[in-house]
Amino acid sequence: MNAIVTGGAGFIGSHITERLVKEGYSVSVIDALNTGDKKNLNSIANKIKFLKGNSSSISKLGKADVVFHEGIYSSSPMYRNNNALVGKAIFEFISVLNYCVKNKCKLVFASSSSIYNGYPPPHNEEMVPKIKDFYTEARYSMERLAELFSQMYGLEYCGLRYFSVYGDREESKKEFANMVSQIIWKGLLDKELVIYGDGTQRRDLVNVADVVAANLLASKSKENGIFNVGTGVSYSFNDTIEKVVNVMGKKIKTKNIENPLKNYVDVVHADTKKSLDKLGFSAKINIDDGIKEALDYYKGLKKVPDIF
């Protein structure tokens, strides 16, 4: 099987790529290397084909059986700073969709739980997104386009709404990294962690290994549609800090400031029924084990990211 991973040098993309290589796929990666880093692919560098470029150049990689599309700007603040990225994400996604139709390959693409902003938990796939953010608009447009390509041209696809993904190899995302990584980094550097608001905002923290498993299941499934990739449990930032402190065995200095962000996501918490019923996916990694594994990795870095 030939697979393409767009954004394969990023946090999640590099984990998907590594797993595909382990499973015997022949893998090509295309990545613009803005938040990603080629060093994320060091362990498999001589086993994959790598092209530096935008996802819209996907056809340069030749024919694949399956595409995993992670390669768009990956975080909401990036779109607030430059709202033209909405158009870029959609434009590049259309190239990916056309590629998949032309080559009759299955498409598995990243979407996001931030699409549920404004709904009380638990969040299920039937909720019609209320658009509250530029990033969410890009995500929802991508989901609708995939459905349209499916109706018009028979595209087979799964859009995966990732919840709050944490794990190792997030350092090139810097200030856009998950809360778990940011807490660990502050702890390792003995620096103060700034929290927006009172720390009661909640996230459904899903380990990157579980996200990879969901991608693999989706790629082999006959199902078309949109699926949550979360655990069905959510933790407040305060709970998460306490968990990291327990695993590190060390206090972390914190400072609460007024939340400067409009339309901030207060809580995300997955309803996991559809992805379990249709894809057979359920998250397996225990949060404390996941935090410990991430901590061991970040402890081994020559340079821990020093953000803010």
Ligand X SMILES: NC(=O)c1ccc[n+]([C@@H]2O[C@H](COP(=O)([O-])OP(=O)(O)OC[C@H]3O[C@@H](n4cnc5c(N)ncnc54)[C@H](O)[C@@H]3O)[C@@H](O)[C@H]2O)c1
The answer to whether 106 and 219 are in contact (CB under 8 A) is yes
Work out how close the CB of 10 gets to ligand X at its nearest, in angstroms, rounded to a whole number. 2
DSSP letter at 267?
B
Q: How far is CA 153 from CA 38, 101, 105, 147, 163, in A?
A: 35, 7, 12, 10, 29
Residue 57 β-bridge partners: none
Let me know if 76 is exposed, middle or buried by CB neighbors in 10 A (0-12, 13-18, 19+).
buried
Work out how close the CB of 208 gets to ligand X at its nearest, in angstroms, rounded to a whole number. 8
Work out how close the CB of 32 gets to ligand X at its nearest, in angstroms, rounded to a whole number. 4
Work out how close the CB of 299 gets to ligand X at its nearest, in angstroms, rounded to a whole number. 20
Work out how close the CB of 89 gets to ligand X at its nearest, in angstroms, rounded to a whole number. 7
Sign of CA dihedral 10, 285, 306, 189: negative
Give whichever of 23 and 175 is closer to ligand X, judged by the CB atom. Answer: 175
Give whichever of 90 and 222 is closer to ligand X, judged by the CB atom. Answer: 90
Give whichever of 14 and 221 is closer to ligand X, judged by the CB atom. Answer: 14
Q: Which residue number has the CB closest to ligand X?
A: 36
Backbone angle region of 247, left / alpha / beta, with phi > 0 → left and psi within -120 to 50 → alpha: alpha
Which residues would be at the binding site for ligand X (CB under 6 A)? 6-7, 9-13, 30-36, 54-55, 70-74, 92, 110, 112, 162, 164-165, 173, 178
Give whichever of 157 and 162 is closer to ligand X, judged by the CB atom. Answer: 162
At 147, which amino acid appears? E
Give whichever of 131 and 192 is closer to ligand X, judged by the CB atom. Answer: 131
